[in-house]
Structure 1
Amino acid sequence: MHVVVNAATSADGKLSSRRREQIAISGEADFARVDRLRADSDAVVVGVGTVTADDPHLTVKDSALCEQRRERGDPAQPARVVVDSSGKTPVDAEILDDAATTYVCVSDRASRTRREKLAERATVVVAGEERVDLTAAFDELEADGCEQVMVEGGGELIFSLIEAGLVDELRVFVGPKLIGGRDAPTLADGEGFVADFPSLALESLERVDDGVLLRWVVED
C-alpha cells in the first residue's frame, strides 16, 4: 500500500484557525489537483475530528475523472475511510451517504450500539483496544484492494500515521495566509516527536496559485 498525505497549510503551518473552522487556503488550481489525486486513489482517509468539524463529502467532483475511473474498471468514486476510535461519527454525516463505499475504523471501546448504527451506513472495521490500531486497519483496507490511499487530515491522524511508519509521501500546499494561534491545528499534531525525528526528502517544488506545492518522500 502507498500512503500519501495531502494537506493545505497557511504560511505558518496551520490547517485551520483555533476555532477549528475550515478556511480556504488554496485556490482553483490546487482544488483541481486534489480532485485528480482523489481520482487516482483507492481510498480517501480522514480522522473523525475532520468529519465533525467540516462534514466533508470526500468525493471526486470532476465527472470526467469519474468516467476515467470507470474505464479502468474502478468504481466511479474512491472508498472513504473515517478513523474514529470511539465510534462517534454522526450517522447523518455526508461521508456516510451512498455516493461511495465508506469504512469507519473503530477500536474496542466503541460501544456495540454505536457500531451497529454505523454498520447500517458503512463497513465497520474494529482494530485496537483504546485507539484504532492503524497498521491493522490499513492492512484490512489493503486486503480489500486499496493500493493507493490518500490521507486528508487532520493533524492528529497525520501524526499518528507518521509515528506508525505508514506514510510514504507528503504533498503540502502552503498558501499565502497567516493564521496564528498556539491552539490552531498544524500538519502534524499529536504528542510530537522528541527524538528520532522522521526525515523527508524533497522530491519537487512547484508554484500553484499564489502558493507553493511541496512534495516530500518519507525516508526509511
Structure 2
Amino acid sequence: MSDRPYVTLSCAMSVDGHIDDLSDQRLLLSNDEDFDRVDAVRAENDAILVGANTIRRDDPRLLVRSEQRRDSRVNEGKSPHPVKVTLTESGDLNARSRFFTTGDTPKLVYAAAAVAEDTRKRLDGSATVIDVGERVNLKPLLSDVVERGVGRLMVEGGGRIHTRFLTEGVADEIHLVIAPFFVGEADAPRFVHPGSFPHTSDRRMELAEVRQIGDVVLLRYLAK
C-alpha cells in the first residue's frame, strides 16, 4: 500500500491567475460543460479535500451531481459521494456549513491539537475530528486517509491549500481551467501563493492534455 493517495489538484482561474474576486458573491469562472467534467472527476475519486477557509467563504457541498455517476459508485461498492476532508489550525468551522450537512458520506476534519477538542464539540458529531498534533502536516494526513481507504484524492482549494500540496511535493496531477477574462484586483485570491515549488524552468511539469470546453480551456499537467 502506498503511503499516500494519488492526488489531483483541481482549479479554475482567470487569465490573470485569480480564483475569485473581492465581492461577496462567488465568482463563476467556468461553464456548465466544465462543471459536468468536474463532476465526473469527483465521481472517480475516493475523497475530496478543501481548506477550512474555502468552507467558510464558498460553503461548498462537494457532492457528485449526476445520479448516473452516483449509481455507478454504489454499484462498485462505494458511497454515492466521495469522503469529504478538510484541515484546520484554528478550529473555525460551522457545523451548519453544507460541507457537513449534505451528502451521506463520511466527513473528516484534521485539526491541530490545540483546537481539536473544541472543534469536536463544535461539530457535535457531524464529522470525525482527528487530532494531528501541534500542526496539520500533509504527509501524516495523507497517510491517514490511505489507511481509511482513500486511494485517489481530489483537492479543490483554496490557494493556500494548493500551494502547500505543490510546494511539499505531494501532488501528482493538476487540472487547471482558464476562464477568458481578467479579475484585475491585486488582493483577490489566487491559484497559488509565493513559495518554493519543485517545478521550475529547469524542471518542467509534463503537459498531458489541452482541451477546449466551450469558452474555457483545460490544461492537465502531471506534477511528477
Task: Identify which range, 147-156 or 116-125, moves more after superposition.
Answer: 116-125
Verify the 8 A CA contact 2:49 2:156 in the aligned structure 1. Answer: yes
- The correspondence of residues 81-120 of structure 1 with structure 2, limited to 5 A, is 81-97=85-101, 99=103, 100-110=105-115, 112-118=117-123, 120=125
Partner of residue 170, structure 1: 174
2:201 aligned with 1:187, yes or no?
A: no
Verify the 8 A CA contact 1:43 1:149 in the aligned structure 2. Answer: yes
Task: Identify which range, 200-209 or 119-128, moves more after superposition.
Answer: 119-128
Partner of residue 124, structure 1: 129
Partner of residue 52, structure 1: 56
Partner of residue 18, structure 1: 22
Partner of residue 35, structure 1: 39
In structure 2, the residue corresponding to 1:110 is in which secondary structure? helix
User: What are the Cα deviations for residues 97-117 of structure 1, in whole angstroms up to 9, with x where unaligned?
Assistant: 251211111111215222333
**Cα 1:168–1:119 shift into 2, 3 Å:** farther
User: What are the Cα deviations for residues 113-161 of structure 1, in whole angstroms up to 9, with x where unaligned?
Assistant: 22333251101122241x3111111111010000000000000001011
2:204 aligned with 1:217, yes or no?
A: no
2:205 aligned with 1:205, yes or no?
A: no
Whole-angstrom CA distance in 2 between matches of 1:73 and 1:195: 37
Runs of 4+ displaced beyond 6 Å: none
Verify the 8 A CA contact 1:96 1:122 in the aligned structure 2. Answer: yes
**Cα 1:174–1:98 shift into 2, 3 Å:** closer
Structure 1: gaps spanning 5 or more residues? none
Q: How far apart are 1:74 and its partner, in Å? A: 0.6
Whole-angstrom CA distance in 2 between matches of 1:85 and 1:72: 35
TM-score by length of 2: 0.91
Structure 2: gaps spanning 5 or more residues? none
Verify the 8 A CA contact 2:14 2:182 in the aligned structure 1. Answer: yes
Whole-angstrom CA distance in 2 between matches of 1:28 and 1:66: 19
Whole-angstrom CA distance in 1 between matches of 2:216 and 2:42: 20
Quote the sequence identity (%). 29
Counterpart residue identity of residue 26, structure 2: Q
Verify the 8 A CA contact 1:107 1:133 in the aligned structure 2. Answer: no
Partner of residue 141, structure 1: 145
Q: How far apart are 1:20 and its partner, in Å? A: 7.0
Q: How many residues align?
A: 217
Q: How far apart are 1:19 and its partner, in Å? A: 4.3
TM-score by length of 1: 0.93
Verify the 8 A CA contact 1:50 1:153 in the aligned structure 2. Answer: yes
Verify the 8 A CA contact 2:167 2:198 in the aligned structure 1. Answer: no
Q: How far apart are 1:5 and its partner, in Å? A: 0.2
Q: How far apart are 1:195 and its partner, in Å? A: 8.0
Counterpart residue identity of residue 132, structure 2: A
2:165 aligned with 1:158, yes or no?
A: no
**Cα 1:67–1:194 shift into 2, 3 Å:** closer
Verify the 8 A CA contact 2:14 2:181 in the aligned structure 1. Answer: yes
Whole-angstrom CA distance in 2 between matches of 1:111 and 1:136: 16
